[in-house]
A = this chain, B = another copy of it.
Amino acid sequence: MTEFLTYTSAQEIVETIEEIRTQLQEKGGIRNLYLLGCGGSLAGLYPLDYFMRSEAKNISCRSMNANEFVYDTPKGCGENSIVICMSLAGTTPETVAAAKKAEEVNATVITMSLTTDCPLAQYGRYHWTYGSELRGNCSYQDVNLAKVLRFGMELLRIEEGYEKYEKGVAAFEVLDALCAKAKKQVSDRAVKFAEEHKDDAVIYTLASGATYCAAYMQTICMFMEMEWIHSGTIHAGELYHGPFEITDKNTPFFLFVNEGRTRFLDERAVRFLEKYSGRVTILDAKELGICIIDPEVVDYFNPILLWSCAVEYTRALADAKKHPLLQRRYMFKVEY
């Protein structure tokens, strides 16, 4: 049995929500959420954004680039708002500034990063920690995508009575087994992908539903930042409304295919791209075993499974290209 590092627990999340609820009881309660971050951390909040958009009846939710929030703070953000600010190392200046700004408008701020020992943790009434494979062994229940989703499910259970809550909790419990099995399943495919794509100048990513964030991370963090490959993210539902015209037999696509309500959008993209590109790499949550999760909540767990597998493809690509994952030319090296 693998030893996992320890992070903010579901119990602590519940206690935070109960406390905020009590504090805001006489002020009109919790009205909305703002989710702030930059790059991969903004994407890491998206499963919560998507969950709230789909399931919340009363509490609204917006994601924003942290710096846009700093310079154009929404008027709706105030004492009835919970603001979550996420940054992996907790050092991102724009996200630290956003947490400060959110406190100034009297929102209840929760900051999230890998450790408590970081500039971001100085802001916010609450600071939560989450895990990442970059830092050491952690349960998939503790990665940012899962942690924020858990918050959403607990929040709606407490505030609105989320009827699928038990099914959601059960899903968290199978994540580690599910991801471990799927990662093994794709390891040879990842090496094959890397061989076939190591000289490509451009690779597009596609996804729908909660998994849109995984495609975005694959584009900006993996292909562009780590491997210096041109990329763009196409929402699977947007493909036929412009983007598909660049498709030809030389253009590669990296597709995330969900199980659940938006699967039809993904399958439609697969059909088109397999016919007109042929250079299509597919990560299919259904084929990777996600159906052990209840169909009523499966939508929200797709990105956790699919992202755990996508990382294997980028690692293989780095090997095939002999371009180390952590090689940078600008980040933390020049002024910007």
Contacts and interface: CB of A to CB of B under 8 A. Distances in A.
Contacts of A229: 246
Nearest to A160: B75
A62 B53 contact: yes
A279 to B, nearest CB: 14
A76 B58 contact: yes
Contacts of A113: none
A241 interface: yes
A230 B246 contact: yes
A3 interface: no
A89 B242 CA distance: 15
Contacts of A232: 219, 230-233
A225 B246 CA distance: 7
B265 A242 contact: no
Contacts of A231: 232
A132 to B, nearest CB: 16
A205 to B, nearest CB: 10
A330 B233 CA distance: 20
Given A201-B201, A237-B68, A243 B262 contact: no
Nearest to A219: B232
A151 interface: no
Interface string A254-280: 000000011011001001100010000
B336 A268 contact: yes
A65 B237 contact: yes
A220 interface: yes
Contact of A238 (B39, B230, B244, B330): B39
B68 A265 contact: yes
A209 B262 CA distance: 28
B240 A220 contact: no
A72 B40 contact: no
A42 B334 CA distance: 37
A319 B206 CA distance: 31
Contacts of A271: 336
A159 interface: no
A321 interface: no
A40 B245 CA distance: 14
Contact of A209 (B72, B94, B238): B72
11 contacts: A39-B242, A54-B74, A56-B75, A57-B76, A71-B261, A228-B245, A240-B336, A244-B336, A268-B336, A272-B330, A272-B336
Nearest first, the 4 closest Cβ-Cβ pairs linking A and B are A39-B241, A232-B232, A60-B60, A220-B242
Given A54-B74, A56-B74, A272-B336, 16 more contacts: A32-B60, A39-B241, A40-B241, A42-B241, A53-B74, A56-B76, A60-B76, A67-B265, A68-B265, A71-B261, A202-B202, A220-B242, A221-B242, A225-B243, A231-B232, A268-B336
